Chains A and B, each alone.
Chain A
């Protein structure tokens, strides 16, 4: 099992903020590496798009342990929710070779809340 705990249980960030937290793992087999990613993904009307913008790699993590990580919230894209598209940021952890993952959604947006896009009549 892998768990991600954001520092101070904080999940709302503005671009430029430091995203700190801790990843803890307790596994049945020894993974090769344990990667913690900062990534975004889309969902909605269109097929999925996504990207990993930063990675914190823990080499030879062992069967169990914990480690702190830190990222800088990028300038964009903002978390948002429209009519056709939602864009969500997350901290994801994967233990390679041990088939264990974890995911913790966060928000990166100027006001610390996802932008809401409302439909406008095209006429």
Chain B
């Protein structure tokens, strides 16, 4: 059946041949996976044969929108960018804010697929149905911010710019793709895939639109939901402080990581918390179609960024033993410009700090050394000096130099800034996430800490909890709707999809889509050889008790971790090895 909201068009760009063509969107896939995250993974499953080299010519980049993209549905402006990950070898899908996703939709496409490789560094210009291949001689080697500035001055602000920095050009497995200067497709080395295709940037402008049935009535209802549900008090912390609000809650909750996850709580959190950062705020910004505006544009000293987000605050602050808010902003700015994921780069640097302090290997940097942390970023992006030893992330570095016990990662993707000994379910959520350790799949602290609805220091019930959270986010990010519409429900999701697509969606179908998206991601990884042996927990969590905070004394016993894995596999219908049975794969 036909669905409105979609453009029913995929733009396929053959970088090797310098050609492009369009084809209809696979509506069977769309009916089962809706859009954005889910649709991207289903296409990847179809088009990427197992064993493909993530930095090789056969990997593809999938820029995927959803049916809600380009409509005034609040928080619908994000774009999924997916590929096989060079950091982990698993599937990877990132979610980038800004305006690019909406402009791709207005240009007339549901999805853009990049295949092959440019002969020499270049950038792609997409304006409605026109596609141009341009030389990037004067852009290659430049920071992402300078490149975006040059392109925006040349083409105008009607174009969205998606660009990589030197990290992506050097194929760093922590390289990200930037847009609007400070928004990222951040993790899993997605920027390196773009770099491996010699693509410095993609710029896109669209003068078309999105049609929905009964548009005046549809718009009235969409705006009513914006005013009544999105802008209610429970979500307005997003405008007031953005993710900086998490810092205090994580500190008090016992999940703020300290000095490379060796402890939690920082008694000095007030020196760099949202109160301090907001004093320096110069402006607010949101993505296209946002209602909340989570972006804090601020300046401390000479350091400028839209951010910093909680992840960056934590990894450059307490987790590095640093308390200086100007350093945190500078870390954010420099990482964004180099095109490096702050989480992975930060985690690798703080691991190097601990290695040096323990005398296992001297990387020349210790906790608290803020200036060195900044210069380390540049060395890692360019794979120079000590940066060359750290550039490939904490898993590879620890395999070479030791210190694997406190190399905080799963499958090669470094740990987000939530301490699982304070929220046991998170250790399992990190382990089973579809792309390595990621907090955006199942966000366990929501239930175990912030809601106090499920006790944090036990394995009981965590399988179902992690599943429920994961199912919810999986479908939410397939519509897509941004994380920050926190009060959205399956009823609202189904109503929005019905309004926009003209097909009746029921709330139960949202749960089905979520489950299916979780399964297709796992199926992709299973085909690549991943199984229970790869759903890991760093030894530190089992061996080192926390010293302070509400979780003082906690470790996660291996039996508890294994129990949580068993529970989750059972809820998913996978076998004891964490693998999907054939009958389940066939339903996908």
Partners in one complex: no
